[in-house]
Chains A and B, each alone.
Chain A
Amino acid sequence: SYELTQPPSVSVSPGQTASITCSGDKLGDKYASWYQQKPGQSPVLVIYQDTKRPSGIPERFSGSNSGNTATLTISGTQAMDEADYYCQAWDNSAYVFGTGTKVTVL
């Protein structure tokens, strides 16, 4: 079955840039989405179709997807961005989520 791999954790200082990778075989041939989940809350879609932001998502969130890697970038990271982040793709009639990355804003 298809797998998406993310680093378990990423640390970033306030105001700096955080990059979260998501690796999967030929992931660039699929559409990647990204979700933010804060403790005790439901996930929120922050990026879809590799690079698009839903309404209400700040411009500091951006995405890319090429080859075997999709990347979520948070520019000018704020304390409120501290959360778990999951990538997701659709493969062979199934949704696949990444392993998740905890972003800590130090």
Chain B
Amino acid sequence: AQTVTQSQPEMSVQEAETVTLSCTYDTSESNYYLFWYKQPPSRQMILVIRQEAYKQQNATENRFSVNFQKAAKSFSLKISDSQLGDTAMYFCAFMRVSGYALNFGKGTSLLVTP
């Protein structure tokens, strides 16, 4: 079974600064998908970024980028120029290429302060 670990239950960052959320996973698969989802307070969970393991290039979406280290089984999320609207719970998730179920970490609660 695949496990996903987010070692930072809570983090705080000031507006305009950069923050990195960590995620590690355990799998014997060679190809898979990794995701970061964001759930703002009392709002819907939305996809932030997706990485396909066979692609060596790190995925980026505007201010959000990942540092994907396949050998280390690490998938950290970097948020640049943090904004108040980035305050949310962030979930890291794993999916086998041949599967459909997402395996989630426990989440990291990020607070962006003025």
Q: Are these two chains actual partners, yes or no?
A: no
Residues of chain B at the chain A interface (Cβ within 8 Å) = none
Residues of chain A at the chain B interface (Cβ within 8 Å) = none
